[in-house]
Homo-oligomer: A and B are copies of this chain.
Amino acid sequence: MSELKVGLAGLGTVGAAVFRMLERRAGELEARTGRTVKVTAVAARDRSRDRGVDLSSVAWFEDPVALAREGDIDVFVELMGGDGDPAKAAVAAALDRGIPVVTANKALLAKCGVELARRAEASGAGLHFEAAVAGGIPIVKTLREALAGNAIERVSGILNGTCNYILTRMADEKLSFHVCLTEAQRLGYAEADPTFDIDGFDTAHKLAILTSLAFGTQVDADAIYVEGIRQLTLADLEAADDLGYRVKLLGVAVKTDTGIEQRVHPTMVPKHWPIAQVSGVTNAVAVDGDAVALTLVGPGAGGDATASAVVGDIFDVARGAKGYAFGLPVERLARAERAAMQRHEGGYYIRLAVVNKPGTAATITRRMADEQISLESIVQRQPGGVVPSDTAHVILITYATTEAAVRRAIAAIEADGVVASLPQVIRIEKD
């Protein structure tokens, strides 16, 4: 029975969870693959730290690049994170040596995915990254393998647990964004500097990877339009609820007449969609193919969930599974074009804080008509404390139109002097 020697770079929460899972499941993995899977070498900074795992029989490397380049290993597992060295150098070194790599590093893949896939192809080593997107949800395997018969039309997902936690608490408990953010930080769901999560960049990294797998494009996070959840108010979430929607931070990649549109922004989704009902830190990905539409729901982060995805990839390496990193040879991956959001077509939710005087509604509806925008509904509301009482909220839901038309109409309304503060615009996603 041949051995699969695992080299593990990074022994934080996920690394230690992977180590323990491989020990716990050793017998099963051997029965299922015919190989004994064993961590034989690790790289981490502090040898003395107690991680709750027995490292006595394991070779220790201070330098992960040295482990990747010289370690007596059959697979290199990168769990250090960071989009530069040493993670990148280590992954490259392993691939160049022909050693398959398993990584959970979304930032690295979003930035250097194409280059690393090229190195993998050149040496014939596999590059596996199930854990990099949506944690424990097997969406990479689903797109790369299970849906091979489908032409994908849209991938959309709740890919950031922090944002979904905040939005869920705001909606369920009628709390402000800032209260929920503070609560998320207290519970360890958000960083002290939450920018990366709440401004949508983490979602964009993951979406870039999904887009490549779904549409055969080169991973390119810079091609994504990104908007975060900072500006969302409870008034918006309540209005969405009344109108039959929930507001989620979605990453969406969709095939349009002009190419693949990649975008991350708060989105109103119909309540009856499975994805609308995903609450808290849970993640979900919906895939619309020409033959099937699937929704996968599960934990997007955490040591055990991420370790589950990493060990699934190690299992694939052990049984000799072959395949291109992003499904296709690198030379076949098309360039990703930056989303032309002005051309985006869809329904819109627009909330305007307006001066409470006669003729305001007429002004607004005229400007919408000027841009050929049809309105599904228009509601005027007296808001609570947030806005001075001589203003009201006008909430518009449009039928499908273009971003450019919406922006022009709003600019015209602002020029008319009836708007009291910054308008809120939320895109609506429908079937």
Note all chain B residues with C-beta closer than 8 A to A293.
298-299
Name which of A80-88, A203-211, A236-244, A307-315 contacts chain B: A307-315
Q: Is A384 an interface residue (CB 8 A)?
A: no
- How distant is the Cα of A324 from the Cα of B304 in the complex, in angstroms? 26
Q: Is A372 an interface residue (CB 8 A)?
A: no
Residues 134-185 of A at the B interface (beta carbon under 8 Å): 135-138, 141-142, 145-151
Q: Is A289 an interface residue (CB 8 A)?
A: yes
- How distant is the Cα of A312 from the Cα of B149 in the complex, in angstroms? 6
- How distant is the Cα of A220 from the Cα of B66 in the complex, in angstroms? 51
Picked from B21, B29, B321, the residue with its CB within 8 Å of the CB of A321 is B321
Cβ–Cβ contact B297 & A274, under 8 A: yes
- How distant is the Cα of A312 from the Cα of B136 in the complex, in angstroms? 21
- How distant is the Cα of A110 from the Cα of B294 in the complex, in angstroms? 25
Report the interface size class on chain A.
35 or more
Picked from B17, B147, B277, B319, the residue with its CB within 8 Å of the CB of A322 is B319
Chain A 310-337 interface 0/1 with B at a Cβ cutoff of 8 Å (1 = within): 1110111001111110011100100000
Cβ–Cβ contact B149 & A25, under 8 A: yes
- How distant is the Cα of A304 from the Cα of B308 in the complex, in angstroms? 31
Cβ–Cβ contact B145 & A316, under 8 A: yes
- How distant is the Cα of A272 from the Cα of B21 in the complex, in angstroms? 30
Chain A 279-294 interface 0/1 with B at a Cβ cutoff of 8 Å (1 = within): 1000000000111111
Cβ–Cβ contact B315 & A145, under 8 A: yes
Q: Is A115 an interface residue (CB 8 A)?
A: no
Cβ–Cβ contact A315 & B149, under 8 A: yes
Picked from B25, B137, B316, the residue with its CB within 8 Å of the CB of A294 is B137
Picked from B277, B299, B315, B324, the residue with its CB within 8 Å of the CB of A148 is B315
- How distant is the Cα of A299 from the Cα of B31 in the complex, in angstroms? 32
Note all chain B residues with C-beta closer than 8 A to A311.
148-149
Most buried by B among A130, A272, A321, A327: A321
Residues 246-265 of A at the B interface (beta carbon under 8 Å): none
Q: Is A230 an interface residue (CB 8 A)?
A: no
Say what secondary structure dominates the interface of chain A: mixed
Answer whether A31 and B315 are a contact pair too, CB < 8 Å, given A141-B145, A291-B136, A295-B298. no
- How distant is the Cα of A102 from the Cα of B373 in the complex, in angstroms? 51
Chain B residue at smallest Cβ distance from A148:
B315
- How distant is the Cα of A410 from the Cα of B278 in the complex, in angstroms? 39
Cβ–Cβ contact B320 & A291, under 8 A: no
Note all chain B residues with C-beta closer than 8 A to A321.
319, 321-322
Chain B residue at smallest Cβ distance from A316:
B145
Cβ–Cβ contact B319 & A29, under 8 A: no
Cβ–Cβ contact A319 & B315, under 8 A: no
- How distant is the Cα of A17 from the Cα of B299 in the complex, in angstroms? 34
CB distance from A307 to the nearest CB of B (A): 6
CB distance from A136 to the nearest CB of B (A): 3
Q: Is A296 an interface residue (CB 8 A)?
A: yes
Chain B residue at smallest Cβ distance from A146:
B138
Cβ–Cβ contact B312 & A147, under 8 A: yes
Q: Is A3 an interface residue (CB 8 A)?
A: no
Cβ–Cβ contact A148 & B25, under 8 A: yes
- Please give me the 8 A-B residue pairs with the lowest Cβ-Cβ distance, nearest first: A149-B311, A136-B292, A138-B146, A148-B315, A291-B308, A291-B304, A294-B298, A295-B297
Which residues of A pack against B, CB within 8 Å? Answer: 17, 21-22, 24-25, 28-29, 31-32, 130, 135-138, 141-142, 145-151, 272, 274, 277-279, 289-299, 304-305, 307-312, 314-316, 319-324, 327-329, 332
**What are 21 A-B interface contacts by the 8 Å CB criterion?**
A17-B291, A21-B149, A31-B328, A32-B327, A136-B292, A137-B294, A141-B141, A141-B142, A145-B316, A146-B312, A149-B307, A149-B315, A289-B308, A291-B305, A291-B308, A292-B299, A292-B305, A293-B298, A295-B296, A320-B320, A321-B321
